[in-house]
Structure 1
Amino acid sequence: MSDDLYAVVGNPISHSKSPKIHSLFASQTGEAVDYTAIQAPEDGFRETVSEFFARGGKGLNVTVPFKEQAWAMADRRAARAEKAGAANTLYRDSDGQLVADNTDGQGLVSDLTANHGLDLAGLNILVLGAGGAVRGVLGPILSRRPARLVIANRTVAKADALVALFADEAGDTELAACGFEQPTQPFDLIINGTSASLKGDLPPLAPSVIGSDTVVYDMMYSATTTTFNQWALDQGASRAIDGLGMLVEQAAESFRIWRGVSPQTDAVIKTLRE
């Protein structure tokens, strides 16, 4: 009996750690999974997905720049994908319908809480950026009931739009928007959801947002400390975490959706670090 086919689709895709992560999950759990990487043409994502499922594929992860297209082409969407406006996980249900889900937010929250011991309840949180990456994680963060969540972005109107979109999920959490330069008080947790670190850039933040107890989290990851995390440590942050754990945790949630099995993530994170 042949293994079930899964893949990650993106452009470019050669750098993706997903095949390694899922092969480690498969060997750990004994699941019969064959997981590869597919580079789709920028104008051929829909055809790539249709062809994959036509040849018996069971599930896809979706990465840049196709997450919005994955969301748009689905027959039905999980609630967290619906709100995120993007999907990173696709599969066909028992009726043959294409289902879209988004596990990024769950991945972030699992990394913060399970791997790094942070309780988000009651925290004062600053989130940097208002693009798709941030939109995908706001719901799961709000579900942990922080006291206050401020979305800072270069274009304040985009941050305002996210505040309006997620107001119904805020509950008792104070939800606010502003520009990068506006916050001056220290936060308990700062999450960088911009891609600035990849270019070696920084959002123009006041150093005073970093206090001696501030934890910072960069959704990007790299072999060395990211630009944003290094800046925060230089300002006196207590801890700086990168997004490698989020990558593994979102993959674990996809694996659980597809296979009904939750893999252990700590050993996989450790292997990737090495």
Structure 2
Amino acid sequence: MTTLSRRDLEILECLDSSPSLTAIARELGVSQPLISARLADLERECGQPLIVRTTTGFSPRPAAFRLARSARRALLALDAADDSFAALASNNATPAERVQIAASLTVAENLLPAWLALMGSPHDISVTVTNSRRVEALVTAGEAEVGFIEGPYPPTELSAWTITDDDLVLICRAVDPPELPAGPISARALIELPLVIREEGSGTREVLAEACLREDVRLPARLPQVSSAAAILQAVRHGSLAVVPELTVRDQVAAGEFRAIETTLGLHRSLRMVTKSGARLSPVARRLARIVRADR
């Protein structure tokens, strides 16, 4: 019976998230022939192919997805054991290098705290919270190892993994709401209402702008713009309308503070984790990425 090494687990973990064996080799800091040879050994030992090799990379077979999930859980357990051992030797430990990450407001406020809690023992992580366009710029420039963005499409210059989907919703205050036209709100009707929107570069604004364009409507420059989720909600409490992530206001809508309004816009987007293409992540950044992928 084959006993899998940590490197074997790391290779298997990458099968559901990397586009090619070359990308796996870069991520793990080894040669592509080594990855190819070891994967062939693993396929032979388990008695079936795990991937379909193509001219541009590979496609995982169903067994590869199952093994990737199992390998990720095993590696998280090994990470926890490493933490326990490191705690015993903490007096001799050298300070860890700070890891820079960047996150959009939606991810930073609703998902990132739980992921950081799952990191276990304290790690030196610095988080920049900004809009999605700025997150992409920070990762591209190497100023953040890992980024979290929101929007309708993945960036073309970065490696991206979909974390989850999150619809946007048009809301108003539930008590004494503004006067609204009958039926679902169209883009043309929406821009005539007291609407507050996010600033340029926001993933939420990008999805709203694209949805309006599908109905041949552009967001007018006269609309008030704010860069804070808290400020958006405060404006709604004072009588404005806003398009916000459903993830952000789910509890307030359920509690009756805000009211969700039906639209014709189809406000759908994905939340994604991004890294610089071809970059090898530090151990702490790789562990965070592992936690995020396991939480999908």
Indicate the TM-score class for this superposition, using the shorter chain for normalisation: 0.3 to 0.5
TM-score in terms of structure 2 length: 0.31
TM-score in terms of structure 1 length: 0.32
Identify the structure with bigger relative contact order (alpha carbons < 8 Å, sequence gap 6+).
2
